[in-house]
Structure 1
Amino acid sequence: MKRVVERLYACSSILNDKDQYAYYGRVGGCLITGNEDGVKHCAMNLLYSLQHLGYTIPPQADAGWIGEAGPGPSYLDPGSGGPENDFTNRNTSFMAWNLMHLAAMLKRAGGIPAHGNQRSAWDAGCRSDAPNPEHR
């Protein structure tokens, strides 16, 4: 995931058709699986990185499965209990619905409003300390 986030950051200067950063108007979440603790720490790091890039994060945008600590089966391995885990299934369902609801809301609204977050406007002097009153 570090590599994926680094690749997203590499493209973070690209602008969308509203002259906002390219990831504005997109939603993000994460599902962490494995057989070690650390789901919350990984989710915090990833969700922070996504919102920092411009993604919108809904409530309960993460879910995870933790198997036995130490060497052992992963989520889909026979006998892991992963696919049958009610806690993981519930949180994954809630996350999926929240991501879809927020994406639909953003789509209906035409994305994040552009006023106040356009790179070209900032570069042109449209900010509170601009010497030109037209840009305040």
Structure 2
Amino acid sequence: MTKQLANKMKHHCDTAPAKYDDLKVLFLNCTLNRTPVLSHTEGLIKVSQRIFEANGATTKIIRPVDYVIPAGLGLDMSKTPEWDRDDWPQIQKEIDACDILILCTSVWLGEKSSVCNRVLERMYGYTHNFNEKGQYRDYGKVGATLITGNEDGVKHCAMNILFSLSHIGYTVPPQADAGWMGEAGPGPSYMDEGSGGPENDFTNRNTTFLTWNTLHLARMLKDQGGIPAHGNQPDEWEAGCKAGFDSPEHKR
């Protein structure tokens, strides 16, 4: 980064429209590589992480592949006959504590990684639990995605990931996806020498916009106490309060 660009970045952070030092950001890096093996996706994650931390937000990176995460939709699969161990509840606690979740993945066969799919499945298994306002538990959290690979598929993966996050309750801001793709087929990955990944202006722009947009949206949601609990509480619907669905005005 040139001195001019570094000064510009500092200026943006110094003149931000709000404070973000009470926000927690969790990156779930769904690489197939266990720690300490190099993760190219983590190289892109750190571009975003630097901006978050420059604005005071607390960040954490977790590689789910480092944990034992059984298949299933239970809260703790170790309590079933099929599995003796389940580390997912540890990760779920980190998800519950964050304001912003960035779900990150590499691309394989044009799809998000198997680890990413497993993560979304386990997150989905928790959606029958509600938050303190009686909404689905992830209402009020902000979601986004970062993707790397050396074949096509960024937008396809982003569509699936962002829909999945939105479906279970996350709020998705504008420009909530960013990624880097090398040449189709075998070739250098993001962190490889000469790949051009870390210098790619398009990727750096989108990653920067994603970071700021998640900060702005998380700030607004936190200051407003999340999504209003009006017309979106499952227990009230089941009890017969249809939130205007069967009102006389609706029947006109």
Q: Provide the TM-score with structure 1 as the length reference.
A: 0.92
Which residues of 2 match residues 10-49 of structure 1 at below 5 A?
Answer: 10-49=125-164
In 2, the alpha carbon distance for the partners of 1:35 and 1:17 equals 43
Q: Aligned residues, how many? A: 130
Give yes or no for the alignment of 1:119 onto 2:234: yes
Deviation of residue 104 (structure 1)?
0.4
Name whichever structure is richer in strand by fraction.
2
In 1, the alpha carbon distance for the partners of 2:170 and 2:228 equals 14
Give yes or no for the alignment of 1:99 onto 2:99: no
> Where has structure 1 moved over 6 Å in runs of 4 or more?
none
The match for 2:223 is 108
Aligned-residue sequence identity (percent) comes to 69
2:246 maps to amino acid: D
Give yes or no for the alignment of 1:52 onto 2:203: no
The match for 2:246 is 129
Which residues of 2 match residues 82-93 of structure 1 at below 5 A?
Answer: 82-93=197-208
Deviation of residue 80 (structure 1)?
1.2
Deviation of residue 129 (structure 1)?
3.4
The match for 1:133 is none
1:87 maps to amino acid: F
The match for 2:188 is 73
Moved more, 78-87 or 95-104: 78-87
SS in 2 for 1:31: strand
Deviation of residue 18 (structure 1)?
0.3
1:27 maps to amino acid: V
Structure 1: gaps spanning 5 or more residues: 131-136
SS in 2 for 1:29: strand
Give yes or no for the alignment of 1:63 onto 2:178: yes
SS in 2 for 1:72: coil
Structure 2: gaps spanning 5 or more residues: 1-115, 248-252
Deviation of residue 72 (structure 1)?
1.4
Deviation of residue 119 (structure 1)?
1.4
Q: Provide the TM-score with structure 2 as the length reference.
A: 0.50
Deviation of residue 4 (structure 1)?
1.1
The match for 2:59 is none
1:12 maps to amino acid: T
Deviation of residue 123 (structure 1)?
1.4
The match for 2:109 is none
Please provide the CA RMSD for this pair: 1.1
In 2, the alpha carbon distance for the partners of 1:74 and 1:10 equals 33
Query: Which has the higher relative contact order, 1 or 2, with Cα contacts under 8 A spaced 6 or more apart?
Result: 1
1:28 maps to amino acid: G
